[in-house]
Structure 1
Amino acid sequence: MALFLSEDDVKKLLTVAMAMEAVESAHRDLALGLALDTPRARSRLPQTVLHILQGALPAQGVIGYKAYTSNRSGNRFLVHLFDAASGRLRAVIEADYLGMIRTGAVSGLAAKWLARPDSTVAGVFGAGWQAEGHVQAICAALPLERVKVFSRHADKLQAFCRRLSEQTGVAVVPAVSAEETVRGSDLLGTVTTAAQPLFDAEWLEEGVHINAAGSNALIRQELSEAAVKRCALVAVDSVPTAVAEAGDLLPLLEKGRLHPRQLVELGEVIVGRHAGRTSVKQITLFESQGMAIQDLAVALRVLAAAEAAGLGQEIPMQ
């Protein structure tokens, strides 16, 4: 029978290391032609939006989708896993925590492959729910000694920094300004819902890598056109998804100042088909939009861990 896994089950089982291994496998499979991913589809009502991401990892034996609703009352996430060979349902998994860790893990993966390996200082914009996974993953990926965090919500920032310092063993500290966050950083992360660029492109240091994780619609923009133009490499999780959703890139794409053929999928770097960073002085960028296969790969590992631990509730259906 299939299993239902709750948020509490997922929190007991999922680790950042597990998630990073999972998303790397998904990107590798995609680059090798062993995966299918369909860009996000949305159904909109005045009060509620339904979002669906679907895909398949046949080499890993799974096909499925993530569906979530967004509403003023909150967001609700479910991943549905099916056996790729038989089509039978294997699991339904609550996926708020899973999605947060997965999103962070992709940033950690990009940092692993695109940032300078000796990076010790990071700057992060955002101190919300999604930023937690982001900070955990970049601390797992690189030998960071300090993470500067800047947020509009100063009242929550201190608690965020204390919690993440304890979780990672890295000094996570509040930044007093956007400029302080950017200057002197080897790695930058943007994990916000900003509609306007977060910082001045002139503040970027040579050799910095940027993980931009918040801009997934035209109305959202965390990076200025000038900042994107300073990047020698613009990597994305998926070109079709990026050209449809990446708010940081869409203005440049529409003006012809950036072309889809210039975008490099992260999986192409992982399998060695495209060079990543080629100089310590290059500024590199990864635009993260989210893909079904990332969720499916993480959910598959959570399911295996649940089965081994005897967690979850059986769903009475074949």
Structure 2
Amino acid sequence: MALLLTNDDAKQVLTMGDTVFVLERLYEDLGRGRAVYRGRTDLFIPTSADVGDDMPAAYQLKTLDGAVPRLEVGSIRVTSDVVAFPTVNGQRRRIKIPAAKNKRYVGLVFLFSSATGELISVLQDGFLQQYSVGAINGIGAKYLARKDATRVALFGAGGQAPPQLLALKEVRPITRVQVYTPTPGEAVAFAERHAAKMGLEMVAAASPEEVLEGADIVVTATNSRVPFFPAAWLAPGMHLSCLQRDEACNDCFRKLDVVVFHTRAKELEYASSDFAEMERRHHFEMRDHPKRDIDWNDFPDLGALVTGRIAGRTDDRQRTFFLNSTGCGAQYTAVAHLVYTRAKERGLGHQVPTDWFVQEIG
């Protein structure tokens, strides 16, 4: 039987501590060439969805796959999204439009047995994505942030921000979080909502300068498509942890002492020529991230860091930088396997016949 699992099922069995643990083991496998994955693939075509204001928008079909021999599984993550790129507070951002029934989104992980080839589980990807991304940045901080780091400066207050903090708590003795967003009221609401349940002191900051005061670790968890964080904002000894590539300015890649990418495998993007008129009107090229003059091959990846092929922080005054450059299909393989195994043990989810997903060829 194949097991269908929802985000609610995953929340019952997946902790951030376990996510950090299984992903650190995965990056040991990747660093030694045992586990495999390939770069993300994005397809863009026009959408008839109502996205509101006149802005660049598209249907985006995204896939990431990976396989982990130690776990005897392979997987593919598929997201089927309507996306838009509005200008907010003078900066281009990327947002997902809840265009599916009842204002929902579509994202699934298909998990397969490497012993039989059979589909063993289909999982909603939302909770897995947030926890795995948080854990990956947390692993980066484990090797790059000062061991005595207690204070975090957080840029952004959306759904990706809480898992970033939960992961940092697993690897460093975090006690205080200073939150900044350019949207009035968001930082205050975030602090009020999360401080008590995370067991952290949280305060809203009124400016980038204020949020950075006294910080040991800086987390950028935004959907900006315009770089806004310059190297000059990072004081000696601080660690910068970016959720995605469009947050740090180019000088961060040149001037900071240690720079590590999540992965050097860039996504492949294919866009319909039907976007030509829209691209001209908005002075916008249809792609998930704007092009930048940065060679990813100039930087080591997380697998090299975890296996010790490169050094992490070696001095408390170093300025370090971890970039979650893009997703890695194997991260979903490892976390989906953990959720599937635990959900199966607890009798969660809905079973469907494996026969529905196998065929004869002749």
TM exceeds 0.5? yes
Provide the residue aligned with 1:165 in structure 2: 195
Provide the residue aligned with 2:343 in structure 1: 306
Deviation for aligned residue 1:260: 4.1
Q: Is the 8 A contact 1:139 1:170 kept in 2?
A: no
Match status 1:292 vs 2:329? yes
Letter of the 1:4 counterpart: L
Structure 2 residue runs without a partner (length 5+): 48-58, 83-96, 100-104, 270-286, 356-362
Deviation for aligned residue 1:122: 0.9
SS at match of 1:102: helix
Provide the residue aligned with 2:174 in structure 1: 144
SS at match of 1:211: strand
SS at match of 1:235: strand
Provide the residue aligned with 1:40 in structure 2: 40
Match status 1:241 vs 2:258? no
Match status 1:251 vs 2:292? yes
SS at match of 2:185: helix
Provide the residue aligned with 2:62 in structure 1: 51
Provide the residue aligned with 1:280 in structure 2: 316
Give the structure with the higher percent helix: 1
Deviation for aligned residue 1:229: 2.0
Correspondence list, 1:220-235, <5 A: 221-235=246-260
Measure the CA separation in 2 of the matches of 1:161 and 1:34: 41
Name the % identity.
31
Structure 1 residue runs without a partner (length 5+): 216-220, 254-258
String of CA shifts for 1:277-297, please: whole Å, max 9, x gaps.
121111111111221111111
Provide the residue aligned with 2:231 in structure 1: 201
Q: Is the 8 A contact 1:183 1:203 kept in 2?
A: no
String of CA shifts for 1:94-152, please: whole Å, max 9, x gaps.
11111111111111111111111110111111100111211211122210121111113
Provide the residue aligned with 2:281 in structure 1: none
SS at match of 1:8: helix
Q: Which has the larger radius of gyration?
A: 2
Bigger RCO of structures 1 and 2 (CA < 8 A, at least 6 apart): 2
RMSD (CA atoms):
2.1
Match status 1:265 vs 2:274? no
Provide the residue aligned with 1:4 in structure 2: 4
* Structure 1: 4+ residue segments shifted above 4 A: 242-248
Aligned residues: 307
The 10-residue stretch of structure 1 (259-268 or 75-84) with the greater mean CA deviation from structure 2: 259-268
Measure the CA separation in 1 of the matches of 2:296 and 2:189: 41
Q: Is the 8 A contact 1:178 1:198 kept in 2?
A: no
Provide the residue aligned with 2:94 in structure 1: none
Measure the CA separation in 2 of the matches of 1:260 and 1:243: 14
Measure the CA separation in 1 of the matches of 2:189 and 2:307: 39
Distance 1:141 1:162, change over 3 A: farther
String of CA shifts for 1:34-90, please: whole Å, max 9, x gaps.
111111101212121110001111121110110012212253211110011211111
Match status 1:64 vs 2:75? yes
Measure the CA separation in 2 of the matches of 1:22 and 1:152: 35
Measure the CA separation in 2 of the matches of 1:208 and 1:43: 38
String of CA shifts for 1:262-286, please: whole Å, max 9, x gaps.
3111121211111111211111111
Deviation for aligned residue 1:169: 0.9
Q: TM-score, normalised by structure 2?
A: 0.80
SS at match of 1:306: helix
